[in-house]
Structure 1
Amino acid sequence: MQEEILEGMAFIGEEFTPQNVEIVIENGRISEITERKTTSTQWIVPAFFNAHTHIGDTVGMDTKIDRPLAELVAPPNGLKHRLLRETPARRLVSAMQDTIAFMKATGTLGFADFREGGTSGVDLLNQAADPSVGMVIFGRDGGEFSARGFGLSSAKGTKEEEETVRLAKAAGKLFAVHAGEAGVKDIDVAFSLEPDLIIHATHFTGAHIREAADCDIPIVICPRSNWLLGATADSRRPPVREMLDAGCRVFLGTDNAMFVAPDMFAEAAFLQTIYKIDSGNILRMMTDGFSLLGRRNRIEAGGPADLLLLDGGYPGRWTQDPRTSLLNRVGSRGITRVISGWNTNSL
């Protein structure tokens, strides 16, 4: 049996309550948590799940944003798709490996990726995988059948699209769709396809929010990408506060690695600054995406030991609100170690 004991201030349970504790880890799981006085300046945080990425796009990192969103990213001939087609497979795998390593180093131990390129595109991401980082791959163009699910760029309402969704669901696959990123015209048709996950929802109305809540469809928001790519310049878009108040499950993602670094701490700090969302809700958004893997990531007895250890010395001496200081002052630069109890990679 492998055992390790950690000491420090841990962010415990559903409310991420900061407590000075001793944590016993046995065989990749938390076996015991004991409240105790400690002189340790270590902070212990549940690892994050990045609920929406396009990490193949790393090959076009920091491409100039000099054209409309559709010309940059829309299939089949947006700039990113041309870059992906032109990039050799070995280079794509290397780029995705680097980005997975970056995500892990900045606190992410699970992610959901929209993978272009059909079956071969899914295979390339599997080649890039780190077994300590959980993956949910949403394929397309046939790749959905060798992945965890089908990822639709935007719903158009065609018969072919409806049939593709039907076949994916019949094969037991999840279905995720971008909706409401640049406007409202694709939202109703997206709901008609009964998705398991909606990406962006930047321009959701109150009626759309109620439908997502009533149908228990999780929403992934990607605020930095929305602002950078011109989908919004308004702290009411996406309507995050209204989503939370309606009882929606809201996950956090970083979107396109071409334009946005997949650092969940940076995404959280932006969300808190622009949208004024409280730290507890943001921490839930940063971790609840693990449900896509059938997992729950909280610091609690019996839970997985998917943890971040951080240097909390400076804020720990002065903070009045450790959860806010974690997101806005410590950040990914404070990480001293990433512990993964997750050793089985998943499509």
Structure 2
Amino acid sequence: MVIVAGDIFDAQSAQFFEGYVEMENGIIVHAGRGAPPKAPDMRGTVLPLFFNWHTHVADIIARERIQKSGRKWTIEELVGPGGEKHRILEETRDAELVSAMCQAMWEMAHNGIGGFCDFREGGLHGAYLLNSALAGQKIGCMRMARPAKNAYDRAELDAILKISDGIGASAISDWDYSELKKVARHAKSEGKKFAIHASERVREDIGLVLDLKPDAIVHMTQGTDRDFAAVADAGLLVVVCPSSSKFFGMRPPVDKMLAAGVNVKLGTDNAMIASLDMFEEARALRSISSVNLIDSLRMCLSPTGNIFNGKNYSRSLSEGAPPEFMVLKGAVSSAGSKDVIGVFLGKYSGRR
């Protein structure tokens, strides 16, 4: 029996309470309020594991090269079609890419992240490599693949969708729209998810974006008040990535999104330019918006059920369920990933 005690965050009420959790064989036996029945094995602040809502984990292979370059990159130069990151990915051997993605997953898990949504480039082969990296991992992944080229190929899409959870497309500006619409319809017809980057570098027609029936939109940095109202009316969530946006000299207008009623989540985006650290992302968000500490943390959590549309937060302390929480030393108000002293994810437990 393992007992963890301390200030526990209840995501449903957004309140902390003094309590404890008893676990055995990767299952929560009991979760209660007040003092534990005996001395705990670990004490601290207990938070649900985070969900990283938007990643490109393979990009971590380019981290050292990009950081050492010392140059200021534009979106087009670094991550646009044919950009530097794509050249690096294409020239890297499969085994190195898989190893790099495993490293990224290890970093996330040790930073208190229990799941992530990855937009994987490279077509069918890229999707296979992501699955190879995920083999044996405890961390969960929503696998959003894409065609090798920005064009619709029915046979390729069929094969991709068999081994992924959906399609994570680049912006409509990168595509022949008629081709992109075929991709979106195909994904939906197979019961899979479709998500897309939108209005990151330049504003794009939100009507065209919404006509694709996406489950989620990433960035919307150049969106307008009318765009945000349309997104809110459609009931879609928008994933913002403040650290990545800052790298490119931009800032997502989060206060305007929230004022319009948009459901906003946080992601770290490209792994070579932003840390795989949701504490850091939440801190970056607070520095550019009026979002408070608790709300910024809730933007890092995963809902149950439909991962894109659900609004009920994961019950990480349910009795009879596997644990999905982290333990921090000190108060959450000043916490960072360096303060994570324990991660409990099913039968896996990591301690520092």
TM-score, scaled relative to structure 1: 0.85
2:5 aligned partner: 7
Q: Aligned equivalents of 2:11 and 2:238: distance in 1?
A: 22
- Residue 145 of structure 1, CA deviation: 4.2
Relative distance call for 1:207 and 1:342 in structure 2 (3 A) is: farther
Structure 1 residues not aligned, in runs of 5+: 316-322
Residue 200 of structure 2: aligned partner: 181
Structure 2: unaligned runs, 5 residues or longer: 148-155
Corresponding residue of 1:278: 292
The equivalent residue for 1:226 is 245
Q: Is 170-179 or 18-27 further displaced after alignment?
A: 18-27
User: Per-residue deviation at 1:127?
Assistant: 1.1
Q: Secondary structure at the match of 1:292?
A: coil
18-27 or 111-120, larger mean C-alpha shift: 18-27
Aligned: 1:214 with 2:229: no
Please say if 1:264 is aligned against 2:278.
yes
Amino acid at match of 1:292: I
The yes-or-no answer on 1:66 pairing with 2:72 is yes
Alignment correspondent of 1:150: 167
In 2: Cα distance, 1:223 partner to 1:342 partner: 33
Query: RMSD between aligned alpha carbons?
Result: 2.3
Shift of 1:144: 4.1
1:99 is matched with: 104
Instruction: Give the superposition deviation at 1:28.
Output: 4.5
Percent identity reads: 35
Aligned residues: 322
1:86 is matched with which residue: 85, 88, 91? 91
Q: CA separation of 1:200/1:20 partners in 2, compared to 1, >3 Å: closer, same or farther? A: same
What is residue 330 of structure 1 aligned with on the other side? 335
Check whether the contact 1:144–1:151 (CA below 8 A) recurs between aligned residues: no
Asked if the contact 1:139/1:145 (under 8 Å) is kept, the reply is: no
- Cα deviations across residues 207-251 of structure 1 (Å, max 9, x unaligned)? 111111111111100011001022x1xxxx422123223332211
Matches within 5 A, 1:220-259: 220-230=239-249, 232=250, 237-259=251-273
**1:252 maps to amino acid:** L
Aligned-partner Cα distance in 1 for 2:315–2:264:
16
Check whether the contact 2:145–2:167 (CA below 8 A) recurs between aligned residues. Answer: yes
AA aligned to 2:270 is N
Deviates more, 1:245-254 or 1:261-270: 245-254
Q: Which of 23, 47, 58 matches 1:45?
A: 47
| Alignment deviations for residues 80-121 of structure 1 (CA, whole Å, 9 cap, x no partner) | 111111000000001000010001111111000010111111
- Structure 2 residue 326 is the aligned partner of structure 1 residue 308: yes
Q: 1:219 to 1:304 in 2, by over 3 A?
A: farther
Partners of 1:342 and 1:70 lie apart in 2 by 43
3-state SS, counterpart of residue 104 of structure 1:
helix
